[in-house]
Amino acid sequence: AQSVTQPDIHITVSEGASLELRCNYSYGATPYLFWYVQSPGQGLQLLLKYFSGDTLVQGIKGFEAEFKRSQSSFNLRKPSVHWSDAAEYFCAVGAKTNAGKSTFGDGTTLTVKP
Amino acid sequence: DTGVSQDPRHKITKRGQNVTFRCDPISEHNRLYWYRQTLGQGPEFLTYFQNEAQLEKSRLLSDRFSAERPKGSFSTLEIQRTEQGDSAMYLCASSRGQGATEAFFGQGTRLTVV
């Protein structure tokens, strides 16, 4: 069965500091991997996705993520965090044939200190 | 492209009442997905449609839940005899067909059962 683990429930960083959010997945075939962001009371916005090719993917809002097959990881990074990045972040894994049917982690809440 | 639209955004209902939510996908998308998200958790897949056909249902979708997409456009999710445990955010997403590499989420319907 597929699963996603986000080990950090809550992370606090100072504005301007770098950020890394961890994601580990379990999936039997080649995964599609996603990172989404969710502001309070809102839906999900896709930050970036990986399904093949270059293992370092760039997304919106200055985010990037690196797929490491050997570690079953897909960690999200940003070199300099802005106060507006405070939100909840979800990692998800989906099938190549049905990218909309995803298994999500439980999320990491990011707080940004001024 | 106006995005995925969900209605209502918020619903408060008394235990035992029936509720119905609507989702309007992006117009050219033939796949439509329903997810449920409880507080502190990631979204959980409930069901999906390809055009008007409901192709998969999660075990989470008890027989009090029913989803339809009668003309392959908008979809409805009905919960009968609501219980307090049904309180959650219900998210809808849509995507193109089998080759799609991502789904687009609506802003969700927040259900509170009192």
Q: Count CB neighbours of B104 within 10 A.
A: 22
Question: Is the dihedral angle over the CA atoms A22, A43, B48, B67 positive or is it negative?
Answer: positive
Residue of A41, A45, A100 with shortest CB distance to B100: A100
pLDDT for res A52? 84
Block means of pLDDT (10 residues each) for chain A, length 114 residues? 94 97 91 93 91 92 95 97 97 87 96 95
| B82-108 tens-digit pLDDT | 999 999 999 999 999 878 888 999 999
CB B80 within 8 A of CB B99: no
Q: How far is B101 from chain A (nearest CA, A)?
A: 5
Residue B100: closest CA among chain A residues belongs to which residue? A99
- Rounded to whole angstroms, the Cα distance separating B65 from B70 reads 16
- The pLDDT of residue B1 is above 80: no
Residue type, A19: L
pLDDT one-digit tens code per residue, B35-45: 999 998 999 99
CA–CA dist B41, B35 (Å, integer): 12
Sequence-separated (6 or more) residues with CB below 8 Å from residue B99: none
Distance between CA atoms of B53 and B67, rounded to whole angstroms?
11
